[in-house]
Amino acid sequence: MDEDSIRTALQAAFAVTGAGTPGWPDPHPDADREIDPAEYSRCLDPGKYRILAARARAWMQALSELDLAEVEAIEPTEAASAWRQGASQTHSPAHSPTHAPTRTHRLRPHHPGALPLLIDVHGFDGLKDNAVTLGAGEPAVLLTHVPVCGCDACDDGSTLLLEELDDAVLDVITGAFTHVDTPHGAVQGGRGGWQAEGGAGNLDVEQLLEQARTGRCPHPAVHGTRWW
């Protein structure tokens, strides 16, 4: 098993789950073009973001068919308890979302020491399934939510959105995802680098992440092995 095999399985699953949710190009290809201020307060087609829920379904199908994880449905009344509570919610990465989920699934990997992946589908602008939030661990800390903003001004096309979702999932299943809670804020690392909230960015972040990955971190940490 390797990342290429997983991506191949994902694309095969997405050909089915995404058949009714086409992608779209970047509506602002000219970086120097002035954006209409009205675009910041509107989303003319919120339904197109359902492609994200379709991608999430493809991930669940692919990882299940590859026998890397078992998919567990979580009742809406129990979804809040699936997230870790009690930390700063004002910066990213925060611990838990504040939306009401439409459906939530936990992917529990078979490999010992691997982190569960939480997939939470919700909505905006009157829809219930055009946004996705991902978490890691049990209870889960927040990985990412897409779209971060659904306004027309922030729309960069579907390709970047799908890449963001895919990268977050791959961080977990490859064992790259690492989360550390410090007294100054949270730090998260993955395949593409790290991010920090509050004053945590002034710490030796690389050292903290390495300590977390080797079980030597002095602070609460979330890290796991790869899924295969």
Nearest alpha-carbon partner for 110 in 139, 71, 81, 148: 71
How far is residue 6's CA from residue 220's CA, in Å, rounded to a whole number?
30
Q: Give Cα separations from 196 to 94, 125, 162, 192, 201 (angstroms).
A: 10, 30, 23, 14, 5
Distance of CA 13 to the CA centre of its chain: 19
Report the pLDDT value the prediction gives residue 87, as an integer from 0 to 100.
Answer: 45
Q: Tokens 């002034």 sit at which residue?
A: 202
Instruction: List the domain boundaries for the chain.
Output: 9-21+40-169, 179-223
| Token output for 50 | 């359902």
Q: What tens-digit pLDDT sequence spans the chain (228 residues)?
A: 999 999 999 999 999 999 999 999 999 888 777 889 999 999 999 999 999 999 999 999 999 999 999 999 999 889 999 998 754 433 344 456 777 889 999 999 999 999 999 999 999 999 999 999 999 999 999 999 999 999 999 999 999 999 999 999 999 999 999 999 999 999 999 999 999 988 998 999 999 999 999 999 999 999 999 999
Cα dihedral sign for 171, 198, 219, 116?
negative
Query: What pTM, to 2 d.p., does this model score?
Result: 0.92
Q: Give Cα separations from 225 to 116, 124, 215, 220 (angstroms).
A: 11, 34, 12, 17
Amino acid at 41: S
Report the pLDDT value the prediction gives residue 90, as an integer from 0 to 100.
Answer: 33
How far is residue 88's CA from residue 139's CA, in Å, rounded to a whole number?
16
**Which residues lie across from 179 on neighbouring strands?**
188, 222
As a whole number of angstroms, the longest Cα–Cα distance in the chain is: 51
